[in-house]
Chains A and B, each alone.
Chain A
Amino acid sequence: MFAERRNGSLRIAVASGKGGTGKTAVATNLAATLSSEGYRVVYADCDVEEPNGHIFLKPTIRSVERVGTPVPDVDLSRCNGCGKCGDICEFSAIVCMNGKVITFPELCHGCDGCILVCPENAIRETQREIGCIERGRRDGIEFIHGVLRVGEAMSAPLIRAVKQKLSDEDVAVIDAPPGTSCPVIETVRDTDFVLLVTEPTPFGLSDLRLAVEMVRALNLKLGVIINRCDIGNSGVRDYCAEQDIPLLLEIPDDREIARAYSRGQMAVEVAPSLKVAFAGLWERIVTRISSRNDE
């Protein structure tokens, strides 16, 4: 995974312990700020279950690509009912019962174990569609997002596919799914920096703690952004100070910003002070990334 890393380009993941903290607003506004400062920027939405970066960025989509995941296809005429496929599958995606093989494609993780173990070469790999990737542009910003099929449970392969599309832009701003589960880890694992967006409330703090633990377990650099910093209490700030976590930006619950959001506009376009704030945020991120021993 680290071997294929591009020269000099930076990957910033924007995550949050829960949904509704303004994570996507931060990610899209950071991308817009960097683009207006002359960086070549790609915004990649890996929140594939509910991507909404396009609502802010309104890109013109120019390509759509279907993404599938490998699943086993059993040729029953060759199968001898030995059951080895079912024994090796950790996910119960293929089961041999009284000599009869049944597959549950929605559980298959595409590990190929059953194919390799089958003595009769009765299993081959086919693809099951799990979603699509749409790519486009908005002003200077490259736009990529993954859209998971409704009801689909397996998002990691789609997230990986989205990340494979990232190339040599100067900066990739990657919008992570909310929470701290597998899809989030898949999204942030090989990034250079993780921005955690939170609200200064007791709920925000408890979700932030989980997110911080996850990022630390992955050995990644992180910083916190407090959104709607004028509500709530000082709990998040105290926690960051005590844990030595850099608090990189506080965004007020500004009427103008809220109106911009509700019209689907970029906050940095309507509030110049915010653009300055995001430019400052970027400087602090870069400083953190280049310092080696701060985490």
Chain B
Amino acid sequence: MKIAITAQDNELHSAVDPRFGRARWFIVIDIDTGDFVPVSNAKNLDTGQGAGIQAGRHAAELGVKAVVTGNVGPKAFRILKAAGIDVHIGAKGTVEEATCQFKAGVLGLAKQANVEGHWA
């Protein structure tokens, strides 16, 4: 299964980016094999209000089943939900650590947005 973890840089030891819409990178990881591909989300960094939406669409196009991040805003949440992507929030530390947190099931599965829009 492929998941996307928001990150501040493009490696497994990069820090998790707590923001979803304005994360610099998505690290797409196949959690069964451990293979990963960094995907830049940079073009969303200076979008106005729609950053979370575009990031959500981006994640959907990457074909991931889950997103692991710190926080998610209402619009991003709506689009991820529409795409059938689970949103796991509260990830901390490095991308590698977040992968473990995800596998261990310690992250919260978001049932709704946990921050106001401008975070998204």
- Residues of chain A whose beta carbon lies under 8 Å from any beta carbon of chain B: 86, 91-93, 95, 97-98, 100, 102, 104, 107
Contact = CB atoms under 8 A, between A and B. Distances in A.
B60 interface: yes
B82 interface: yes
A91 B82 contact: no
Interface stretch (B27-35, B46-54, B100-108): B46-54
Nearest to B48: A91
Nearest to B50: A92
B41 to A, nearest CB: 14
B60 A104 contact: no
Contact of B53 (A92, A98, A100): A92
B79 A91 contact: no
Interface residues of B, number: 15
The 9 closest A-B pairs by CB, nearest first: A92-B50, A92-B53, A97-B57, A97-B60, A102-B82, A95-B57, A98-B60, A95-B53, A97-B83
Interface of B: 47-50, 53-54, 56-57, 60-61, 75, 78-79, 82-83
A104 B49 CA distance: 11
B79 A102 contact: yes
A92 B78 contact: no
A107 B50 contact: yes
Contacts of B61: 97-98
Contacts of B83: 97-98, 100
A102 B78 contact: yes
Contacts of A104: 50, 53, 75, 78
A155 B47 CA distance: 20
Contacts of B48: 91
Contacts of A102: 78-79, 82
Q: Give the one of A91, A100, A102 with max B CB within 10 A.
A: A102
A100 B82 contact: yes
Contacts of A98: 60-61, 83
A87 to B, nearest CB: 11
